[in-house]
């Protein structure tokens, strides 16, 4: 039944599409897309809902009509309009059911089934074979490097895999900002207990779980017709819940004086630049890559927004981006002529524009351009764009390992100094990690943060029982990497 409605929709769409011709030609596009509506994180494993499936499918329709159909003014030059040309398209999502399924739902609309005529082949013996489901088209979804299980993880940095980013986010929980919010919102969260007591209790209903609580209530307000004490959820309360979660998540994802916290945005930036660079190198050939699509978590949006200084353009960027949101990087040249391999523009004539849509993009509510890096300009030259991105992009394993202070596994090869030094200097070395002085201790800092708490506890135990003090250094060596998923 779902498919029937969907096909009716597609049939109706091209009519609404007669965009005005412009004097630009799009050469390539990279997109980051959030998943659609899902079940709450606290009731893991999270699943994409039918509503969420609809949202990503609708967004896929929008982008098909913008970038792929033949008569669109924003069509990506040379992209195959109906039958998927695999090498033109690069789609990825982390190993995560919600994000993988969102990517599939989106692709179903981006390249819908082509019917039996376009997707039929004749075998040697003369038999004709048609693709199943009216010419359904298959598109492989690559595995994005980080973010596995992100929709089941209630702690934002838990899937980044980056040691120093985890430590940095953890520092937020001991900051004055955080402690102030904790005490200011104590009453607010305990008043909500009747609504959330199924999943939270007196000890967990507080600002520390701001996002998980918001997420749980948000799911309920969309799907649950029998919320207990629903009268507590007035408009003001819901708004509070959301903005408290916004504040919490923004601070975990980005801190201007602690950039590594936004590592998700740094690796994304590199992926974007690398994709578009390859698109330029492929120079408009039929097999060249043209459209890159990555599905990812809201944290990656937030980290990138912070790094690209978008929150100074519009303060809304500090809020958690809605389900099925998308941000796109349109690479174009200023000509309305068809661009082919023969007349492909030089880098000097190539520009990039950033657009963003909060929630599902549609014809009636299309993405809006915003200036990146505080430039005040909607379009940047390719050189300015790639230079600014490369100021924070982390594009290869070596620089990632160094920036993250990771030294084991695949990072062992990039650890220039295996000998380490005295733990007294550990806190200095976290800040000057890139000099490679004693990267070994950067991985241990996390343990020290946790240990600070443990030591505090021990101190009181020792006061009472008169136990002997174990040195910090011994403890740190005994349990490296202790911080991990603390929340």
Tell me which residues touch ligand NAG (CB under 6 A): 39, 43, 45, 47, 123, 125, 127, 161, 163, 171-172, 175, 177, 198, 220, 224, 226-228, 242, 246, 251, 255, 257-258, 316-317, 319, 321-322, 358, 406, 408-411, 443, 481, 484
CB of 195 to ligand NAG, least distance (A): 6
CB of 34 to ligand NAG, least distance (A): 11
Nearer to ligand NAG, 348 or 417 (CB): 417
DSSP letter assigned to residue 75: P
Nearer to ligand NAG, 126 or 456 (CB): 126
CB of 426 to ligand NAG, least distance (A): 14
- Whole-Å CA distances, 297 to 42, 195, 259, 273, 342: 16, 26, 19, 20, 39
Measure the CA–CA gap between 222 and 239, rounded to whole angstroms. Answer: 15
CB of 236 to ligand NAG, least distance (A): 15
Measure the CA–CA gap between 216 and 204, rounded to whole angstroms. Answer: 13
CB of 344 to ligand NAG, least distance (A): 34
Nearest to 351 by CA among 378, 328, 370, 373: 378
CB of 5 to ligand NAG, least distance (A): 24
Q: Which two tokens stand for residue 121?
A: 């082949």
The residue nearest ligand NAG at its CB is 319
What burial class does residue 193 get, using C-beta atoms within 10 Å of its C-beta: 0-12 exposed, 13-18 middle, 19+ buried? middle
Nearer to ligand NAG, 78 or 443 (CB): 443
Measure the CA–CA gap between 265 and 149, rounded to whole angstroms. Answer: 18
CB of 32 to ligand NAG, least distance (A): 13
Measure the CA–CA gap between 201 and 216, rounded to whole angstroms. Answer: 14
Measure the CA–CA gap between 237 and 224, rounded to whole angstroms. Answer: 17
Nearer to ligand NAG, 18 or 224 (CB): 224
Count other Cβ atoms within 10 Å, centred on residue 63.
22
Nearer to ligand NAG, 277 or 322 (CB): 322
Name every residue whose Cβ is closer than 8 Å to that of residue 224 and which is 6 or more positions away in sequence.
Answer: none
DSSP letter assigned to residue 162: -
Contact (CB, 8 A) for 62 and 362:
yes
- Whole-Å CA distances, 12 to 15, 61, 134, 146, 206: 6, 11, 18, 39, 48
Nearer to ligand NAG, 61 or 246 (CB): 246
Nearer to ligand NAG, 171 or 277 (CB): 171
């Amino acid at each position: 039944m779902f498919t029937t409605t969907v096909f009716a929709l597609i049939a109706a769409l091209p009519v609404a599409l007669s965009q005005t011709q412009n004097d630009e030609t799009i050469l390539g596009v990279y997109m980051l897309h959030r998943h659609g509506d899902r079940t709450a994180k606290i009731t893991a494993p999270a699943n994409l809902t039918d509503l969420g499936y609809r949202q990503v499918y609708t967004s896929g329709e929008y982008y098909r009509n913008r970038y792929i159909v033949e008569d669109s003014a924003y069509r990506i030059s040379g992209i195959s309009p109906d039958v998927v040309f695999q090498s033109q398209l690069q789609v990825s999502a982390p190993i995560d059911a919600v994000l993988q399924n969102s990517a599939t739902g989106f692709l179903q609309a981006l390249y819908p089934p082509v019917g039996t005529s376009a997707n039929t082949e004749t075998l040697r013996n003369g038999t004709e074979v048609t693709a199943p489901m009216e010419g359904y088209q298959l598109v492989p979804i690559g595995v994005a490097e980080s973010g596995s299980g992100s929709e089941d993880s209630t702690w934002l940095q838990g899937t980044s895999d980056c040691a120093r980013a985890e430590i940095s986010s953890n520092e937020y929980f001991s900051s004055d900002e955080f402690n102030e919010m904790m005490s200011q919102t104590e009453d607010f969260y305990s008043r909500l207990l009747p609504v959330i007591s199924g999943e939270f209790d007196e000890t967990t209903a507080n600002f520390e779980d701001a996002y998980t609580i918001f997420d749980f209530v948000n799911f309920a307000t969309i799907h649950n017709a029998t919320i207990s004490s629903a009268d507590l959820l007035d408009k003001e309360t819901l708004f509070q819940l959301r903005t408290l979660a916004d504040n919490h998540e923004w601070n975990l994802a980005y801190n201007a004086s602690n950039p590594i916290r936004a590592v998700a945005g740094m690796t994304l930036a590199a992926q974007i630049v690398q994709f578009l660079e390859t698109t330029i190198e492929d120079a408009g050939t039929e097999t060249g890559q043209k459209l890159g699509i990555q599905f990812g978590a809201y944290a990656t949006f937030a980290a990138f927004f912070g790094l690209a200084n978008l929150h100074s353009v519009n303060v809304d960027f500090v809020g958690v981006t809605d389900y099925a949101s998308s941000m796109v990087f349109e690479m174009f040249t200023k000509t309305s002529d068809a661009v082919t391999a023969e007349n492909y523009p030089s880098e000097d004539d190539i520009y990039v524009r950033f657009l963003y849509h909060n929630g599902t993009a549609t014809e009636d509510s299309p993405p809006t351009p915003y200036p990146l890096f505080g430039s005040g300009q909607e379009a940047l030259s390719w050189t300015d764009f790639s230079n600014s991105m490369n100021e924070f992009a982390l594009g290869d394993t070596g620089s990632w390992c160094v920036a993250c202070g990771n030294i084991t596994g695949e990072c062992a090869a990039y650890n220039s100094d295996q000998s380490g030094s005295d733990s007294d200097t550990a806190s200095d070395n976290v800040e000057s990690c890139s000099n490679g002085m004693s990267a070994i201790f950067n991985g241990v800092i996390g343990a020290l943060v946790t240990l600070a708490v443990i030591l505090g506890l021990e101190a009181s135990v020792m006061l009472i029982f008169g136990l002997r003090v174990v040195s910090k250094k011994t403890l740190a060596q005994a349990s490296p990497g202790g911080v991990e998923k603390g929340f």
